[in-house]
Structure 1
Amino acid sequence: MSFFGKNIRKIRSVKTLSQQAFAELFDLKRGTLGAYEEGRSEPKIETIIKIANYFSIPIDDLLTRELTVNELLKFKSSLSEMHELSHPESFVQVPCITEKNKDEYLENYKNKKFLEEMIQVTLPIENNETMRAFVVTNLEMTKQNQGFFPKDIVFGTLVKKDHYKNIEDGTVVLAHTKSQLILRKAYLLDNTLVLKAEHQNIDDLNFALSEILELWQITSVYQRRINPINSGIEDKLTMLEKEFAKLRSQI
């Protein structure tokens, strides 16, 4: 269950914004916003990122728990006129590649202005490395219900061209070629980069290292689902313990 609808309704209340005014901030229709608030529709990842960044609210908090009014008042945003912090934290802003802007990115990835105007994901970390976020769009990196699913967001750090050969086999990378962006596991064979999918029956892709325009080593992922805390083995052990307890009581 997503708390997105409840949270944006609460944000509107704190800011005293009508549905129409809030919708216009993010190029939405009032009816669409109403559907989000009532839980009748789920927003696109681009919309979630825009709202989270505008109000400086972590995406995870916006989606996975109901925020309190006091918390919302503490977030750095136009929600309230708060005093300046003496030692403000600086979070990393990461350009995010989505299905919508992917083709533009392929053509303008060297354009600094274009990168600055892309949707930015805010990460509460200190990092001086160049990073990219990428919204997963397929099931190539899933296996037995594990791995990356559509709408997950992976985060990668730039691998310099002279370090391509230092990539360890099996490292998950986002490879940028002339015509596509490919999220897969990387293997090196002489001067060839072999990209392998996790999903079965998907052929490997082979590229000369000279064909790779950018290579991003995936270091973290935001998943749009909650994995169970207990594994199946732990559940079975718990069940066995209960059965043993019953047997002991019968002796």
Structure 2
Amino acid sequence: MSQIGNNIKKLRKVKGLSQQAFAELFGLTRGNISSYEEFRAEPRIEVILQIAKYFSIPVAELLEKQLTVNEILNFEDYFVEEKGGKNTKNLAQIPFLGREAFQVDQGGIGYLADLPQIYFPAYSKSRFMAVENSSFIPRPVSFPFEENAVLFFEHVEVDILHTLHKHFGLYLKGDVLFFGQYEVEGKDIELVLNDWKKVSFTAEEAECFWKLYAKFEKVF
């Protein structure tokens, strides 16, 4: 049985694309994508080739196997695949925000629990999230990370507040997201985007603050 419908749906979710946005990438309609995902039709071969090329996925895999999140992200050589197995016991399961999630008209970021998950060797009891660096995300002028690098963030808890000064971080509240740099003066903590935008850390908004933990960049 062809897996193209399952894989189109998974590609959309991992990349944060609505059916309409996915359709527009390949000159299709939202109804086309819906029919593929519900197994009422299959795309023409030229469309399959376009999808495979766009997402850098072998055509045979797109058609014949259910792709994992790590395969879609081309992380399979580095991270354990989504469903996990005996090797995932000591790895953190982390929600992943891809670059497409921040483009205009994608319907917002949504809940972290609804995002695709990857496994990562983060040996800590803290919560983590991963974000694909993108020009769509506001960041300080000094932000040093390459486009498409995957940045891993640790949730800010009380016991790491003293480590924040001058470290890069992430603010996420609803559909508002930006990278910034922490400034700590006494008990006052701010995540600074630039001279005009900054947010103060408070107990009431603690859920919105994250500290950069690690980065992943492919070397070609």
With structure 2 as the length reference, what TM-score do the two structures score? 0.56
- Matches of 2:161 and 2:123 in 1, distance apart? 27
Q: Is the CA contact 1:159–1:217 (under 8 Å) kept in the aligned structure 2?
A: yes
Counterpart residue number, 1:167: 163
Choose which of 39, 50, 54 in structure 2 pairs with 1:35.
50
Q: Is 2:75 the counterpart of 1:59?
A: yes
**Alignment gaps of 5+ in structure 1:** 1-16, 63-74, 79-84, 110-114, 197-201, 228-251
* Residue aligned with 2:87, SS: coil
Q: Offset of 1:129 from its aligned partner?
A: 2.3
- Report Cα offsets for 1:206-232 as digits up to 9, x if no partner: 222225532221111122x527xxxxx
Q: Name structure 2 gaps, 5 residues minimum.
A: 10-42
Equivalent position of 1:213 in the other structure: 207
Structure 1's 53 and 149: CA in aligned 2 closer, same or farther, altered over 3 A? same
Question: TM-score w.r.t. structure 1 length?
Answer: 0.50
Q: How many corresponding residue pairs?
A: 165
1:193 is displaced (CA, Å) by 0.2
Instruction: Give the match for residue 136 of structure 1.
Output: 133
Q: Which residue of 1 aligns with 2:192?
A: 195
Q: In the superposition, relative to structure 1, how do residues 122 and 207 fare at CA in structure 2: closer, same or farther (>3 Å)?
A: same
Secondary structure of 1:121 counterpart: strand
Identify the structure with bigger relative contact order (alpha carbons < 8 Å, sequence gap 6+): 2
Matched-pair identity in % = 9
RMSD: 4.1
Aligned partners of 1:53 and 1:122 also within 8 Å: no
Q: How does 1:58-137 map to 2 (within 5 A)?
A: 59=75, 61=77, 88-90=86-88, 91-98=91-98, 99-100=100-101, 103-105=108-110, 108=111, 115=113, 117-124=114-121, 126-137=123-134
Q: 1:54 to 1:208 in 2, by over 3 A?
A: closer
Distance 1:147 1:61, change over 3 A: same
In structure 2, C-alpha distance between the alignment counterparts of 1:153 and 1:226, rounded to whole Å: 13
Q: What is the aligned partner in structure 2 of residue 152 from structure 1?
A: 149
